[in-house]
Structure 1
Amino acid sequence: MTQTADVDRDARRTLDLLGPAPDNWVPDRPGVDHNVFIVGAGQTGCAFAFALRRAGIGRVSVIDAAADAAKAGVWLNRARMNKLRTPKTLVGPEGGLPGLSFRAWYEARFGAASYQDIDRIPRERWAEYLAWYRAFLEIPVRYGTRLVRIEPKGAHFALHLEVDGVARVETARKVLLCNGVAGNGGAFVPAVLENLPPQLVAHTSDPIDFAALRGKSFAVLGGAASAFDAAATALEAGAADVHLFARRTTLAATPVSRARAYPGAYDNYFDLPDALRWAQALRFKRSGSTAPPDSIERVTRFENFHLHLGAQWESAREASGQIAAAASGETFRFDFAIAGTGYFIDPAARPELASFASHILLWRDQFTPSSEEADDGLGAHPYLGHALEYKEKVPGDAPYLKDIHVYNPAGFVSAGVPVGDVPSMKRDIPAVVRRISRDLFLGDIDSHAQRLAADVPAEFDESLYASNLWGRETSSA
């Protein structure tokens, strides 16, 4: 590790070169507490807070339901991969400012050679970097604060909160949902697991005490990365054995999304015809989410790991404190089951959105695919605008929806990338900030018209140049 008292020199230099952040230009409104209210203080929530500050937008509040920074986000809690699944070279929360990037942070601490040696970013290093980013940029976060309900109130929202267990209401003009993979729905748990006692089953999004389950027999349902990461964590914690059940007959191995990972497609994705965006989302879903090779290698090195392909659980019940499961004509006994089965999208399932969810335009309302391309799950995704804002199902019924921006995976069909992950940051954070800026500016156009027409004092008078006037002009004067 680099030993230097000035390890953040490049980051400080970057801020010096940028100059001070602009003053807040948004006029205060009576009865409005916040211009922008950011729900979620993970990598994207903090990146938005910094970007809004540099855009001169003040009175921005960032909340997180976690009790403190150590419990916030997924990287030190529910994420179980050894390395991030995205390339280390992608632009992240630094927003194109090299001195604030992961690479600059990492090289300052571990050296340029060490950075060249890593193929992808280690998960715990990424968590350290995000903690540094938040602290270095002095992003204020209100922990222990949970959004309970968004109530439209004309030109702003009343936000019903729970702050350290105490109910309170605050107001905001814009809401930014940076609330993770379940932010527009929830964890998907197969019906076959629903009747099992809660102490015998968990979803990969749940905190799981693997150490307490040492020596136990595990079942993992699912064939994507999170399922393999959970299986590996159980094995590394001393599981007696782990059986992973995937419904596909082969593991998904083709990352089809790379076909659109070039600037033309990435930068202009929102301008593609709906039919093409739908086809891309459907192609990804049908091809399957691929686990990185190292996630698979992480489990296959264990002799007590067993892979079941083309195997769906037909039944599961509690039997003498264990799970009795039937799959592919066989009967199994397990001590614990983990659902690595992803998430569903349904805004109505979120309490904070439920009161107006019926007004949100969904893909199934906007686009009708052929019968061969029909997919109920994709159709449930919200049909978002270019700045990831909700749109109205019926024009004029819910105009406030444009002031809620969705920076979570519910934007996948619209945006073509996993919104909220690193691949979405370069394009979508600036686009959302530009739209917020435009809407706030035009929302106070009368005030800005007066400001633009205000008297501006002269910087000098005629005495500055009088002695150099040409003679003819002098005599005319």
Structure 2
Amino acid sequence: MTQSIHPDQQALDTLRLIGPAPDNWVPPRDGIDHNVVIVGGGQSGAAFAFALRRAGIGQVSVIDAAADEAHAGVWLNRARMNKLRTPKTLVGPEAGLPGLSFQAWYEARFGADSYAEIDRIPRTRWAEYLAWYRHFLDIPIRYGTRVTLIEPAGEHFRLHLEIREGGTLRNVVETARKIVLGNGVAGNGAPFVPAVLKSLPPSHLAHTADAIDFAALRGKSVAVIGGAASAFDAAATALEAGAANVHLFARRERIAAVPVTRARAYPGAYDNYFHRPDAIRWAQARRFRRSGSTPPIDAVERVTRFANFHLHPGVSWTDARIRNDRVETNVAGEPFAFDFVIAGTGYAVDPALRPELAHFAAHIRLWRDHYVAAAGENDDALGAHPYLGAALEYLEKSEGDAPYVKHIHVYNPGAFVSFGLPVGDVPSMKRDIPAVIQRISRDLFLADLPAHEARINGDIAADFDESLYAHSVWQHDKADVA
């Protein structure tokens, strides 16, 4: 009789072999609810929670504004690609433990041959894996919890939280010593909507960051603005939902096809990206902006197989208005009318756009505060990115004005200029999560150094007394003489 093997046996063995997580070593403080609050309960929040547990740091809380697990994160909600855009071989949230990796999870369920056949990870499989990861590792997420304001309070923060439980909404204040912003692509800014589209009502306009009812676009004429992956994914989803036609308008004469970030993807360059001089990091960010974000080949093929897909490269919208319940515009001298417009126009990075940072956004050092670009190399959008420290922490604009900002770690695309792309996605997990954990550990330890000194220098009970070896002690006067 063949004995069935538990699909999670390798993961179970991994946890058994690394042993139990250390006890919480951080001394409690009066008036402190949490040592660390992680804002965002998606893949980043879960990975940070597990890493902090393994570092022996307790009193950690992960919060997410989504109502429940099904609505949290992007993979089953706003993400519309068929496959992840990154290689399947990248290290993810497993923290260097192969038994917790996507490959181990996938092969345990579908076999090694099946894993070998996939070129990139299917989006829905990735979502399944992340759900398994959270549940298998028993990582609690506080859903329905939104941070509305982060208020500095000496050596800690007061977090103003809006908590929705069923139909009840209540506001509470909790305290934390450290904060990790794992809050997604808009976490240090907001979705960017071009000025020409801002007058359009929500009934006729959505950003790719929004939840879009694609079924309602069946039989409709749809315009998509943008030339990166999210724009192509939205166009494809509309076509697959039965849109009558989809027109995609891109500013560039050609769709970006040169993945410039790939040149710095080897460990030496990527692991040490932060240590490059500012001028090199700035130049790399500008190169990416000039070259553009490249959609995967399959994202382009996904739309071009439809005869009712129409691409308009090298054009920009200059006007848009509602007439007869349709969006009318003239593009390059040609009139168009659409039932719905989707802005796949990316995100603006600027801490001042985040209401929860209102108390200190003006004190956060930005790239424009720290680095003066050479003539002709200025870029206002890049200049609005925060200039981060080695552990992805905010730095204060003027020394002494806001020393507390260094206790907020930015694990989202706001770190782009300081750390390169992508931050907050799978490729950055191996490099950046350990750096943040190490800094949190260091800061918490040094902040309570007297307590740790007392603990280290405290009395230690002996493992045994002299009776254990007394009978073997050499005594010359009683020694046998030959």
Which whole-Å deviations, capped at 9, do the CAs of 1:289-316 have from their partners, x for residues lacking one? 0000000000000000000010101110
**Residue of structure 1 in register with 2:465 after alignment:** 461
- TM-score, length basis structure 2: 0.97
Greater shift in the superposed pair: 15-24 or 261-270: 261-270
**Residue of structure 2 in register with 1:59 after alignment:** 59
Report the Cα distance in structure 1 between the residues aligned to 2:477 and 2:120, rounded to whole angstroms: 72
Amino acid at match of 2:296: P
**Residue of structure 2 in register with 1:145 after alignment:** 145
Structure 1 position 403 matched with structure 2 position 414: no
Report the Cα distance in structure 1 between the residues aligned to 2:82 and 2:219, rounded to whole angstroms: 22
Which whole-Å deviations, capped at 9, do the CAs of 1:232-275 have from their partners, x for residues lacking one? 00000000000000000001000000111111111211111000
Alignment of 1:220-369 (within 5 A): 220-369=224-373
Report the Cα distance in structure 1 between the residues aligned to 2:189 and 2:75, rounded to whole angstroms: 21
Alignment of 1:170-189 (within 5 A): 170-189=174-193
Which whole-Å deviations, capped at 9, do the CAs of 1:275-296 have from their partners, x for residues lacking one? 0111111111110000000000
Which whole-Å deviations, capped at 9, do the CAs of 1:118-157 have from their partners, x for residues lacking one? 0000000000000000000000010000000000000110
Structure 1 position 201 matched with structure 2 position 205: yes
**Residue of structure 1 in register with 2:103 after alignment:** 103
Report the Cα distance in structure 2 between the residues aligned to 1:4 and 1:368, rounded to whole angstroms: 64
**Residue of structure 2 in register with 1:130 after alignment:** 130
Secondary structure in 2 matching 1:419: coil
**Residue of structure 1 in register with 2:194 after alignment:** 190
Amino acid at match of 2:438: R
Amino acid at match of 1:263: P
**Residue of structure 1 in register with 2:76 after alignment:** 76
Structure 1 position 394 matched with structure 2 position 403: no
Identity of aligned residues (%): 71
Amino acid at match of 2:99: G
Which whole-Å deviations, capped at 9, do the CAs of 1:314-364 have from their partners, x for residues lacking one? 110001100001111111010000000000011111110012100000001
- TM-score, length basis structure 1: 0.98
Task: Give the deviation of 1:470 after TM superposition.
Answer: 2.3
Alignment of 1:405-424 (within 5 A): 405-424=409-428
Report the Cα distance in structure 2 between the residues aligned to 1:417 and 1:228, rounded to whole angstroms: 20
Task: Give the deviation of 1:4 after TM superposition.
Answer: 4.9
Amino acid at match of 1:101: S
Amino acid at match of 1:377: A
Amino acid at match of 1:302: F
Secondary structure in 1 matching 2:329: strand
Task: Give the deviation of 1:456 after TM superposition.
Answer: 0.5
The Cα RMSD (Å) is 1.1
Report the Cα distance in structure 2 between the residues aligned to 1:204 and 1:118, rounded to whole angstroms: 27
Secondary structure in 2 matching 1:281: helix
Structure 1 position 8 matched with structure 2 position 8: yes
Which whole-Å deviations, capped at 9, do the CAs of 1:89-131 have from their partners, x for residues lacking one? 0000001100000000000000000000000000000000000
Amino acid at match of 2:201: P
Q: How many residues align?
A: 473
Report the Cα distance in structure 2 between the residues aligned to 1:269 and 1:451, rounded to whole angstroms: 38
Which whole-Å deviations, capped at 9, do the CAs of 1:62-88 have from their partners, x for residues lacking one? 000000000000000000000000000
**Residue of structure 1 in register with 2:451 after alignment:** 447
**Residue of structure 2 in register with 1:39 after alignment:** 39
Q: Which runs of 5+ in 1 are unaligned?
A: none
Report the Cα distance in structure 2 between the residues aligned to 1:207 and 1:120, rounded to whole angstroms: 25
Secondary structure in 2 matching 1:182: coil
Report the Cα distance in structure 1 between the residues aligned to 2:375 and 2:125, rounded to whole angstroms: 46
**Residue of structure 1 in register with 2:121 after alignment:** 121
Task: Give the deviation of 1:21 after TM superposition.
Answer: 0.5
**Residue of structure 2 in register with 1:21 after alignment:** 21
Amino acid at match of 2:275: D
Report the Cα distance in structure 2 between the residues aligned to 1:194 and 1:207, rounded to whole angstroms: 18
Q: Which runs of 5+ in 2 are unaligned?
A: none
Report the Cα distance in structure 1 between the residues aligned to 2:387 and 2:248, rounded to whole angstroms: 35
